[in-house]
Amino acid sequence: MSHTKLAQVRERFSFSCGYCGVSETEVGGELTVDHFNPISAGGNDDDSNLIYACVRCNQYKGALRPESTNRDLQQRLLHPLIDDLSVHLRVHSDLYLLEAITEAGKFQIRALQLNRPQLIALREKRALMKMLEQRVEIAETEQRLLLKRLLERDEYIIRLEARLRQSTQNEPDSRY
């Protein structure tokens, strides 16, 4: 595969595995390119057939052919760019396990072992990072509001001091 084609695949998948979502940054290097429909089954290098995948997902998927799965029972691999994954999969909010919504989702989780301990830990880490980012954003907003209030108070104090000086200047000298 040409360097240009690889770069396009990487970018199309935002430098992350199309199956489990792990990023190049998280694994410390580039991922692999999977043929959704394997070359051995007549697959080609068309853009729609190329999935950017981590080594583990690529190994688990192996030569599993999309058409060899049982489509009648919805036991099939989900295509990361064609299928709406949110219809088939969701993350449990407390346990960070990937849960199946559909039979196809259940098949995807089993076939690619998407509840590996490392992926659960990654989902938890991402959720915690998201919460931390939200809290930082809230803290920054509160800080801006507090600074604004401090500036308003400083301006108010300056006005009061000016009025006080003015009123003391206008008073007759009572020392005599």
Cα(57)–Cα(55) distance, integer angstroms: 6
Q: What are phi and psi of 75, to 5 degrees?
A: -90, 90
The pLDDT of residue 70 is 64
pLDDT in tens, 61-75: 987 776 656 666 678
The pLDDT of residue 119 is 97
**Nearest partner of 105 among 63, 81, 73, 64, judged by Cα:** 73
Low-confidence ranges of the chain (pLDDT < 70): 66-73, 172-176
